Amino acid sequence: MASLLHPRRRFLYRRPLLSALTLLSLSLLTACGVEELPENPPAGQLNMPRTIAWSAYPTGTGGYSQAVAIGNILQRQYGVNLRVVPGRNDVSRLATLQAGRVNMSAGGSEAVYAQEGILNFASHIWGPQPIRVLLSNYSTSCSFSFATAEDADIESVADIAGKRLTFVQGAPSLNNASTALLSYAGLTWDDVERVEVGGYNASIDAVINNRADVAGGACNSPPFLRLETSPRGLFWVPFPHDNPEGIARVRQRLPWYVPHVATQGPTIDPEEGVEVFTSAYPLLVSMADLDEDMVYGITKVISVHYDEYKNSAPGANGWRIDGQQLENAFIPYHEGAIRYFKEVGIWTPEAEERQQQNLYRQEVLKEAWDTFLPTAPEDREAFAEAWLEVRANHLAENGLITLSDSQ
């Protein structure tokens, strides 16, 4: 069977870094005549490079702000510089990861689409990618829902029919999420006026500037504060959980989305909340061949220092280690992350079973890609159409979900 690992650039020379906190503990203990350190100092000795880079959503978003907060911990405690590279859309965030210009990417559902080789990733230069998860953020907010202008007179998903909905160029994860949420009320893009925009922030600007009425995004994303304080105002469209048919339609397209009550975000009452859907956002991922020690170190730092940054950025409280939903993952976890999960006792037999299922899915996708490429059409549209058919057939033959409704 062909290897899942793609040839990639190797990163800077790594050397062990002793945390500043551990050094301080050592000096204090020595001064007191104590010879031994605690068995598990806050982050211990971590084998990481001096600089780590990850891509994220644009500046001003929740994902970017969280990365900066975590970066402050890395710099202050370990002398590690986290370089956050903003990406305007799904492809730009993962292109830097695939090319080896960043070590990790903190994004959204685009990681699933890259694993699957669908949407913008159904092309010669992409195809199914060996993505691995480090950690998932399930916050008290939401990963993606519909925000509307208060003056647009939209009170339900059904009311979006005939209204102006943003379509973000080069962002299949955002647009596909919009497709799924529209299906809650049996709507499609044919039922709305599509307004094309160039990026995530531009999507919200379009509503503020009255070019659109509805935009999708994370409930706690800072740009929505501008919509809230604008003359148009902000309203979050509810997705009542007592509609099993609507929920089923959404999850048929996005099985990694779950019903959720958001209690954090502009205009959201923290006591009552609003019924929505959510998924992991950000989802911190890498390629399969990223150094295991680096992954272990980052995973441990984000977990151990949770209390120090959880209130530093909107949604940062979702990185808690006991909220990972390992048994519901749709992408395999990295071995470095699993090493830490086992160390703290949260890696269960159910998580291992799901891990093996997800690894098998990637193997089937890789086999389908290797079978397809030698005779693939040159034309871009013909290539994508033929690949998606081969992909769906291979998955179906192996009894795996095809996600055909997500394409």
pLDDT for 110 equals 92
268-315 pLDDT, tens digit per residue, is 999 999 999 999 989 999 999 999 999 999 999 999 999 999 999 988
Q: Is residue 233 part of a domain?
A: yes
Residue 123 included in any domain: yes
Q: Look at residue 392 in the predicted model and tell me its pLDDT.
A: 97
Q: Indicate the residue among 278, 304, 321 that finishes a domain.
A: 278
Residue 238 lies in domain: 145-278
What pTM, to 2 d.p., does this model score? 0.75
Residues 274 and 287 in one domain: no
Shared domain for 287 and 268, answered yes or no, is no
Domain final position from 232, 250, 278: 278
Both structure tokens of 117:
């080789």
Considering the domain architecture, whether residues 131 and 156 belong to the same structural domain is answered as no
Domain for residue 4, yes or no?
no
Q: Check: CB of residue 94 under 8 Å from CB of residue 105.
A: yes
Is 5 inside a domain boundary? no
249: CATH = 3.40.190.10
End-to-end CA separation in angstroms for the chain: 27
103 within domain boundaries: yes
Task: Give pLDDT tens digits for 244-272.
Answer: 999 999 988 888 898 999 999 999 999 99
Express as a percent the part of the chain with pLDDT over 70: 88
**Do 305 and 378 belong together in one domain?**
yes
160 and 257 in one domain? yes
Q: Over 90: is that where the pLDDT of 363 sits?
A: yes
Whether residue 243 sits in one domain with residue 192: yes
Residues 313 and 235 in one domain: no
For residue 1, is it within any domain? no
Do 99 and 53 reside in the same domain of the chain?
yes
Q: Which of 1-15, 195-209, 374-388 has the lowest mean pLDDT?
A: 1-15
Number of domains in the chain: 2
Instruction: Among 278, 299, 329, identify where a domain stops.
Output: 278
In a domain, 90, yes or no: yes
Model confidence pLDDT, tens digit, residues 197-212: 999 999 999 999 999 9
Q: Is 6 inside a domain boundary?
A: no
Are residue 131 and residue 214 in the same domain, yes or no?
A: no
